[in-house]
Amino acid sequence: MDQKFSGPVPDNSPYIMNDGIFRNLVESSIVGVFRSTTEGTIQYVNDAIVRMLEFDNRDELVQLGAFMRYKYPEQRVKMIELLKEHGHVKGFEATILTKKGNERVLLYSLVLEGNIINGTLIDLTDRVEADRALRESEEVNRLLFENSGEAILFTKPDGTIYSANPEACRILGRSEMEIKGLGRSGILDTNDPRLPVALKKRKTSGQFKGELNMLKKNGTVFPAELSSTVFMDSHANERTGIFFRDISDRKRVQAALQHSKRELSTLMDNLPGMVYSCLNDHDWTMKFMSEGAYELTGYLPDELLESKKVSFNDIIHPDDVERVWEMVQAAVRNNQSYDIEYRIITKSGLVKQVWERGQINSSEESGFELLEGFITDITDHKKAEESLRKSQLLLKSSLESQKDTLLLSIDREYRYLYFNKTHADVMKFAYGKEISIGMNILECITTVEDRITAKENYDRALKGETHSNIRVYGDINLAYYESFFNPIINEENEIVGATGLARIINDRIKAEQEIQQQNEELQNLNATKDKFFSIIAHDLRSPFNSFMGLTQVIAEDLPSLTMSEVQKMAESMSNSATNLYRLLENLLQWSQIQKGAIPFNPVPLDLKKAVDQSLELIHDSAKIKEIDISIDIPDKSIIYADKDLLQTIFRNLVSNATKFSHRGGKVQIIAKAATGEGMEVLVRDCGIGMKPSMVESLFRIDVSNKRQGTEGEPSTGLGLILCKEFIEKHGGKIRVESKPGQGTTIFFNLPPTK
C-alpha cells in the first residue's frame, strides 16, 4: 500500500459514504480498503489495513501518512508509474515492512480519479509462504527423485507407469518414455511364480517387500529387491510407489561365497587326515574339524565339536595324555609350532598311531587361545618302520650264524694241509685245477693278479696277523667273497701255517645295499613327510585363516556391509581359495606320485595345441602383471606324451615364470627338434633369477625353496618337483640355468611319436 487512510471524510468529498449498509460492509471486511490523495494524505482506512500493518489504531496510521516502508523501494516506483500511466493498477504484489518490522506480501488494486486514489489491499503473506514451502518441498522431492540411488517408479491401479526416475531408467536400460509405454507388465517377469503372491499381498495390506525378477530392455532377466506401497495423491487418486534395486551382483557374490565354501570343504575333506581348531584346554575342546575326522577317529565331527558327546582328550591313549599335554604347553609357552606322535583309540576301539602338527593362535577378538593344525594316521608308516627294524635284526642274526663255505689251511710253504669240497669246486671252476693235499696253492692259481693277492694275504697271516677282506669276481654276474685269514699257532706258540675261510656274500651285500637303499628311502620319506605336513600346517594356514576370518565377518555383519565391501571380501576370498586350491592340487598330485597312483597314458599330441590349452588358466594372472607370453613352437610338432601331465608341466613352469617376473616382463616358450629324436623345450623369463645354491637344491623335497613372487605371490617349490617327476616319467630330463637379476631358463626334452 502506498497511501495513508483514516480520519473523517470532508463533506465536500464526492466519495463520502452515506450508505450505512455499505459502510458496515467495508468496515467489517477482511480486505483492506483505503482512500488517499495523490499527495499522500489518508482520507479513509478500515481496520483490516490497521491489522495488516500491525498498528495499534487508525490514528497512528493516519499520522504516519501514506508512504509506507517498502522492503523493495523499486516496487513502489513501479506501481506509481503504472497508476499514472493507466489510471489504475490491478493485482500488483509488493513486500511491505510492518510497524513491528515483519514482512507482509500485499496485493494492491488501485484506481486514480483526479487527485484521489481509491484502493484495496489483500494480505497474501500466508499464501505466498505456503506456495514457497510447497515449491521448496517439490524441489526437494524432485532432487531426491532424480538423484536417488534407488530406482523409483510410480504407477496407477491399472499398472500404468506415469513416472520413472533416472536410476530406474539406467537399471532397466530404457528411457522414461519407453517405460511409461510398457507399463508394469513390461518390466516384471510374468513367469516369476512369486509375482501373483506379491500382487495379492500388496492389494490386501497396501505394501509388499521382497524379491522379484525384472526385465531389462535386452530381455535379460535380473533379480531385484522391491518395496511397493499404495498411497493417495493430492487429488485422492490411488497410486503406487515402487522402490527397487538390481541385486544381481549380490546374488553372484553369495553364489561365489557358497561355491568357494564348498570347494574349500571338498579340498579339506580329501586331505589324508583332519584339519582342526580347538581351545587350549585339557579337553582340547574342538571349535572346527574337517570331515576327515570321521575316517581318522570313527566319530562324526558333530560328536566331537564342543565336546558334545566325547572330548578329543578322551580318545587319546591314556598312556599318552600327559605327554601330549606337556609337549603342546611347552610349544605354546615358547610360541612355537609342535610336532607330536601319539596314539588314539577310535570309536570302534582300534588303536591308531597319529602325527600332529599345530600352532597356537591367540585371538584378540575372542579373548582365548586357539590351537590350529593337522592330524593324520601314521599307523601303517610305524608298522613299516618296525618291520624294517626286525628285518635288519634278522638279517644280522642270519649273517652271524652262516656256515663257512670255503675252508682251507696251508703250511709255511703254501702247501695244502686241508680244504673242503666247496673250495675244491671253486679252484676247479676258476682255474681248472684239480687240487689235492700237499699241492702249492700259489701254483694252482693261474691268474697272476690273483696269485699276487693270495700270497700277500697268506704272508700277512704267516706273520701272525689276523685280517679279512672282500673281493669281487666276475664281469657280468658279480660274485662277492669275504675272506678271513688267520695264523695257525702250535702249542709252542709258533706259527706253523695259515687258514683261509671264504664265503660267498652276494646275499649279504645285496641285503646291505637294500638296507642302505631303504634307509635312504626312509630318510627321504621322513623328509617328504616333514615337507608335506610343513606345507599343510604353515602354507595352508594363511589362506585358511583369511578365508575363515572373512566368512565370519560376512556371517556377522552382512546386513551392514556395502556392496563394495562385500565385493572386496568376495575377491579376497576368491584369491585365497584359488591359491589354496592350486596348492592342494599340487599336494594331491605329488602324494599320488609318491604312491605310484597317478595314471600315465601317453598318446601322440600336437605340442603347440597342448601348450595353448594349458595356458588358458594362466593368461589372466599374466595379464594382471602385464606380462607378455610368447610361444615359438613349429606347427605340427607331434610328441608322445600324457596330455594331463604335460599340461601340468607347462602350467607350473609358466606360472612360476610369471610369478617371478617383474610387471611388464616377458615369458618365452620355445620348442625345437632335439638332437636325435623328440623335442627340446625351454621356458625363459627375465625375472629375478636364482642363486647357484638355490638352483642346485631346486628339485630336492627336503630343502625349502619357497619364496614370494615379485608382487607377493605365494610359492612352495612343490610345482617344480612335480614337473621333474612328470618329465622323467616321460623319459625326459630337466635342467635349469639362472643368475640373480637375469632371469631363469628351464630346459627339458620330450620323446617323439612312437
Residue-wise pLDDT tens digits, 205-243: 889 998 999 999 888 899 998 988 888 887 788 888 888
Query: Maximum distance among all alpha carbons in the chain?
Result: 190
Tell me the one-letter amino acid at 248.
Answer: S
**Entry pTM:** 0.34
Question: What is the pLDDT, as a whole number, of residue 675?
Answer: 72
| Closest to 257 in 3D by CA, of 545, 550, 562 | 550
Q: Which residues pair with 94 in a beta bridge?
A: 106
Question: What is the pLDDT, as a whole number, of residue 350?
Answer: 93
Q: What is the DSSP string of 431-452?
A: H-----TT-BHHHH---HHHHH
Question: What is the pLDDT, as a whole number, of residue 17?
Answer: 47
611: which DSSP letter? H
Q: How far is CA 228 from CA 154, 206, 223, in A?
A: 10, 8, 16
Question: What is the pLDDT, as a whole number, of residue 270?
Answer: 66
What is the arrangement of strands in the sheet containing 221-232, beginning at the earlier edge strand?
A: 161-164, 151-155, 238-246, 221-232, 207-215
Question: What is the pLDDT, as a whole number, of residue 434?
Answer: 93
Tell me the pairing of strands 238-246 and 274-279. unpaired
pLDDT along the chain (754 residues), means of 10: 43 50 77 84 87 87 72 87 90 89 90 89 83 67 68 87 88 88 85 90 89 90 90 84 87 78 65 86 90 89 88 94 94 91 94 92 67 90 84 52 65 91 83 91 89 91 88 62 87 90 78 82 68 55 63 75 77 66 65 68 90 82 88 90 88 90 94 81 94 87 79 80 87 92 92 70
Question: What is the pLDDT, as a whole number, of residue 320?
Answer: 95
Burial of 685 (0-12, 13-18, 19+ CB in 10 A): buried
Question: What is the pLDDT, as a whole number, of residue 431?
Answer: 85
Question: What is the pLDDT, as a whole number, of residue 633?
Answer: 92
Question: What is the pLDDT, as a whole number, of residue 4?
Answer: 39
What is the CB neighbour count within 10 angstroms for residue 540?
A: 21
Residue range 486-525, pLDDT digits in tens: 999 998 999 999 988 887 777 777 887 788 888 877 777 6
Q: Which residues contact 380 (CB under 8 A, 6 or more apart)?
A: none
Our CA dihedral for 714, 719, 720, 723, rounded to 10 degrees, sits at -160
Domains and CATH numbers, the chain: 20-130 (3.30.450.20), 148-246 (3.30.450.20), 252-377+540-598 (3.30.450.20), 405-510 (3.30.450.20), 603-750 (3.30.565.10)
Instruction: Give the burial string for 724-739 (b: 16+ CB within 10 Å, else e).
Output: bbbbeebebebebebe
Q: Which residues contact 337 (CB under 8 A, 6 or more apart)?
A: 331, 357, 358, 359, 537, 538
Q: Residue 370 in contact with residue 393, Cβ under 8 Å?
A: no
Range list of β-strands (E), 559-637? 603-606, 628-632
